[in-house]
Amino acid sequence: MAEQMKAQVRPMTEIRNGKTVISTPVSAEDIAALHVGDVFYLDGDLVTGRDSVHGRVVYEEQTLPVDIKDKVIMHAGPIVNIINGDDPSPGYEMISVGPTTSMRMERFEYEFIEKTGVRIIIGKGGMKEKTAAACKAFGAIHCVLPAGNAVVGASCVEEITAVHWLDLGAPEAVWCCRVKEFGPLIVTIDQTGRNYFEEKRAEYERRKEEQVEEISRQVHFMK
């Protein structure tokens, strides 16, 4: 019996066709080994939500209509096709799900992570101190889906299971999805608070100064 129960438990992290695949729900321990620059893919539950959703939760203190504790949110305004629109309960098909610039959510993110218990945040570009502090305090990570992969991302959505807060408009609504090998996702802020984009920014500034000095030496004779 114990062996049968063990066989039924699906690992949260597995290597599948050379890919690191993480399945929801996800604990802090499940993603503790992920560090900035690591690449993985996602199976399970993913919801979309950006400025309006974050504002309702943080500023208006509304409860998110879906439980995302130990799950995933993507900063995205997807393009969705309505199937059987005349039906009282229409279906939906994901056409494109490209990430929104995550910095737009920076002002909300610490409180949002604290309130919802979300474990993985997906977006575009870097985030700053509030998000890094929240990832360290609450055991979350921020990742990016590389630019140009909106249609690839949509192809990884097996089903849209529900939609909430459509009064915000379709792009701003909370779309609940079941995904399979969604990615590639690159970790940009890990649970230690390391911030890949900020580290690279500092490195760029240092190298820029070095190059300016070198060029200045080479052209010192010019007035």
- Residue 155 is encoded by which pair of tokens? 């192809």
**Which member of 35, 54, 75, 142 is catalytic?**
54
Residue 142 annotated as catalytic: no
**Which among 41, 73, 71 has a CA at the least distance from the CA of 173?**
73
- State the DSSP string of 58-121: HTS-PPPSS--TTSEEE-B--EEEEESTTSSS-EEEEEE-PBPBGGGGHHHHHHHHHHH---EE
**Which among 72, 119, 63, 127 has a CA at the least distance from the CA of 101?**
127
The answer to whether the beta carbons of residues 162 and 99 sit under 8 Å apart is: no
Helix (H) or strand (E) holding 164: strand 157-164
Q: Which residues are known to be catalytic?
A: 54
